[in-house]
Structure 1
Amino acid sequence: MEQKRVYEQVGVAMTSRSYAEYERMFMLQTDDLKGKQVLDVAGGASSFTTEARQLGIEAIAADPLYEKSPGDIDEHGMREIELVAAKMAKLTDVYDWTFYGSVAQHKAGRIQALQRFVVDFSSEDAGSRYHTAALPSLPFEGGSFDLVVCSHFLFLYEEQFDYAFHLAAIRELLRVCKPGGEVRLYPLMSFRTEEYTRLNDLMRELEDSGCSVQKKEASLPFLPNSHQFLSIKK
């Protein structure tokens, strides 16, 4: 039997994704979010926050990465982008390239998002929207955000973070979400491209605590089995 070919990852990767990718991962409607408070958790050096704010969305971000200087993040980001491109070049037949086009185009998009982030992170008032923090503890008052998003962290690193961590992390995301607000998580799978093994247990616990929990269709075809995000309404 042929061994399953998967993306190899040691430790938590730094990412740099664009607003367009967030739109597709989380099925965001820009007009509906204008003037809303949105939190991106574990977004790394993604350009989501700066692009969203340019569109009139009150976005901020939280990540342990923000303890680093802009120059260090830029250097780290470029190393990560080169490493990712090299890994993907060996797995081109595994992925759906409908959105990204090719490894080269994927890499170019990552570089552009990183550069946008670094420019914004270098500004004098960057501390008002980029907060150094790591789950399961966030430095925000309860009920602060209309929407909280977290991509490519929870579930993806199933082998590194146990069920208790996942539950505590999601409860913290819900704590900082406004009543009637929503938490969205993407994707629902591990690096083995299989659904998080305890997703049903997690959904039941959240439902028992009074949340409305649903798997919903995303529109970023790329990774196998990455066609859904989790919607948790408080």
Structure 2
Amino acid sequence: MKLKEIVPWGRSFCEYRDMFLLTDDDLQRRILGCGDGPAAFNAELTETGGSVVSVDPVYRFSADEIHSGVDDARSQIVSEVTKNVENYIWDSIRDVDHLVETRMAAMELFFNDFEQGKSSGRYVEASLPELPFENNVFDLALCSHFLFLYSDHVSLEQHILSMKELCRVAREVRVYPLVTLDGKRSPHIEPVVSDLRSDGFDVSFENVRYRFQKGAEEMIVVA
């Protein structure tokens, strides 16, 4: 897949559980979703009484404006996925039409929640590598489909600064996936891991349950 820029595209609560191996105990923790965009995770977790804050620069826009961005992204993504169907696992998601249906259903949950969630402080306009939070205010930070995926758009220096910032505001950090848009392991992983370990962080890799993009089988865990 080739995208000219980072696009708004959201996933569901169930997908987050599988992408990050979230246990019931994890869902009781204070969670930060970084780069969540129009994902349904915040809305669905909040509905069950969970504590979650999502950050994304796209939250400076209105729901209608974000929806317009999603419509633009949808045409790009459908075109790219259709040209590269062999790079995906068509199991829980059956085909391109089902992909769009699944994603749009998740994002509608976000849109229905956005204005209320923004006014209550659950959706915060912010972007890595600088977050407007105190040290260790979160138990767990999740970063889905931003770092490492967009390695052609985000430099190694920005990756290192971003990972350290996530480690500053949360006691544990999980990032998925570790492959780029074209399905190759990100070239930023090893230098990022080396830098984090030299600063005393424990870094590990874990296989996840989620399967869609071929090769995207691991998350990185930093504590």
Count of matched residue positions in the alignment of Structure 1 and Structure 2:
223
Q: Deviations over 1:18-46 (max 9, x none)?
A: 111111111111x2134321000001000
TM-score (norm 2): 0.95
CA distance in 1, matches of 2:217, 2:27: 26
Q: Does 1:130 align with 2:123?
A: yes
CA distance in 2, matches of 1:80, 1:201: 31
Kindly state the Cα deviation for residue 90 of structure 1 after the two structures are TM-superposed.
2.0
Q: Determine the structure 2 residue equivalent to 1:172.
A: 165
Q: Does 1:10 align with 2:41?
A: no
CA distance in 2, matches of 1:124, 1:90: 37
8 A contact 2:205–2:221 mirrored in 1: yes
**2:81 partner SS:** helix
- Of 4, 15, 23 in structure 1, the residue corresponding to residue 17 of structure 2 is 23
8 A contact 1:78–1:111 mirrored in 2: no
Kindly state the Cα deviation for residue 189 of structure 1 after the two structures are TM-superposed.
1.4
Where do 1:113-192 residues align within 5 Å? 113-123=106-116, 126-177=119-170, 181-192=171-182
Q: Determine the structure 1 residue equivalent to 2:186.
A: 196
**1:111 partner SS:** helix
Kindly state the Cα deviation for residue 127 of structure 1 after the two structures are TM-superposed.
4.3
Q: Does 1:92 align with 2:88?
A: no
CA distance in 2, matches of 1:161, 1:114: 25
CA distance in 2, matches of 1:45, 1:95: 22
8 A contact 1:99–1:220 mirrored in 2: no
Q: Which stretches in structure 1 are left out of the alignment for 5+ residues? A: 1-6
Q: Which stretches in structure 2 are left out of the alignment for 5+ residues? A: none
Distance 1:126 1:106, change over 3 A: farther
CA distance in 2, matches of 1:219, 1:139: 32
8 A contact 1:38–1:58 mirrored in 2: yes
Distance 1:203 1:124, change over 3 A: closer
Q: Deviations over 1:53-112 (max 9, x none)?
A: 122220110000000011111222123223312321222222101121211111111111
Runs of 4+ in 1 over 4 A off after TM superposition: none
- Of 37, 55, 64 in structure 1, the residue corresponding to residue 57 of structure 2 is 64
8 A contact 1:39–1:60 mirrored in 2: yes
Q: Determine the structure 2 residue equivalent to 1:211.
A: 201
CA distance in 2, matches of 1:74, 1:32: 33
Kindly state the Cα deviation for residue 125 of structure 1 after the two structures are TM-superposed.
5.6
Q: Which amino acid aligns with 2:50?
A: I
CA distance in 2, matches of 1:165, 1:125: 27
CA distance in 2, matches of 1:123, 1:66: 12
Q: Does 1:80 align with 2:70?
A: no
8 A contact 2:179–2:186 mirrored in 1: yes
> Which structure has greater helix proportion?
2
